[in-house]
Homo-oligomer: A and B are copies of this chain.
Amino acid sequence: MWLQTSCSLEFDAPVATPFLLMLRPRSGGQQWIAREQYVLTPSVPAVEFTDTFGNLCQKLVSPTGPFTIRTSADINAADFADAEPYARFVPVNHLPIDALPFLYPSRYCESDTFTEMASLITANCAPGYGQCIAIVEYIQQSLQYAPGSGQEIISAAEANTRTQAVCRDMAHLGIALCRALSIPARMVVGYLETLRPMDLHAWFEAYVGGRWFTFDPTQHDLEGCRVAIAYGRDAADVAIYTQFGEPLELKRMSVDVQRLPGPPT
């Protein structure tokens, strides 16, 4: 499926302000970027680098006054998200080295406090994919998905005390529960073509059966047509923008995803 994604941010900064951004999806094993743009208005110098998770990050200082960041991309994304109900738990000593960072607790996924709860939730599951499914079902039963209802970033422990949640909270809870079972789990921020109202989306991936699988507690039937912008341990790693210094108001943000008839020519 060919998709055209776009995301724009508008600021009005009283003083020059340093930003770290993560707004350039990269071509990898799962998606191919055929066209892409990243326009800063006014144009300011920007430096790009790769973080420890492989995300393309941009470093810049906004000018004083109005500042707009507009990105868009034509991307070939997988039509379906793979599922493999019999994918098995991988013992820690057989995990690939680069999955290990996703075993540890992180800012918003206090997996060290979820051990008992994770065991209960997955009591009757075959170790692996089945445990992840049980976790997703638990989240769906205990939290009502309420798109756009939350602005402040809350942790898995906090989310677990609530009744409503945004996609990010549900992903945090899923990640914390997986890690509590020694299943590596990571957060993904990106685009989902079918999301309504359209917005950026967050879901998670868990490592079972020798690869990463997509899980999305906001959906009862897991859909494809996803574009990953950034991977990380939790929301602290994958903010599409982080602004330093005096807090700055995001005046406007728009996100869009359109199907394209085919590859660009």
Residues of B within 8 A of A52 (CB): 52, 101
Q: Which of A133-153 contact B (CB under 8 A)?
A: 153
Please pick, from B20, B37, B265, the residue contacting A34 in the complex, using a CB distance under 8 A. Answer: B37
Please pick, from B46, B97, B153, the residue contacting A32 in the complex, using a CB distance under 8 A. Answer: B46
Q: Which of A26-57 contact B (CB under 8 A)?
A: 26-29, 32-41, 43, 45-52, 54, 56-57
Residues of B within 8 A of A237 (CB): 104
A182 at the interface (CB under 8 A from B): yes
Closest to A264 in B: B39
Q: How far is the CB of A117 from chain B (nearest CB, A)?
A: 15
Alpha-carbon distance between A104 and B37 when the two chains are bound, in angstroms: 27
Please pick, from B33, B39, B236, the residue contacting A263 in the complex, using a CB distance under 8 A. Answer: B39
Q: Which of A242-260 contact B (CB under 8 A)?
A: 242, 244-245
Alpha-carbon distance between A112 and B242 when the two chains are bound, in angstroms: 11
Residues of B within 8 A of A105 (CB): 107, 236
Alpha-carbon distance between A43 and B33 when the two chains are bound, in angstroms: 12
Alpha-carbon distance between A47 and B54 when the two chains are bound, in angstroms: 14
Residues of B within 8 A of A61 (CB): 93
A5 at the interface (CB under 8 A from B): no
Residues of A in contact with B (beta carbons under 8 Å apart): 18, 20, 24, 26-29, 32-41, 43, 45-52, 54, 56-61, 74, 76, 91-93, 97, 100-101, 103-107, 110, 112, 153, 182, 236-237, 242, 244-245, 262-265
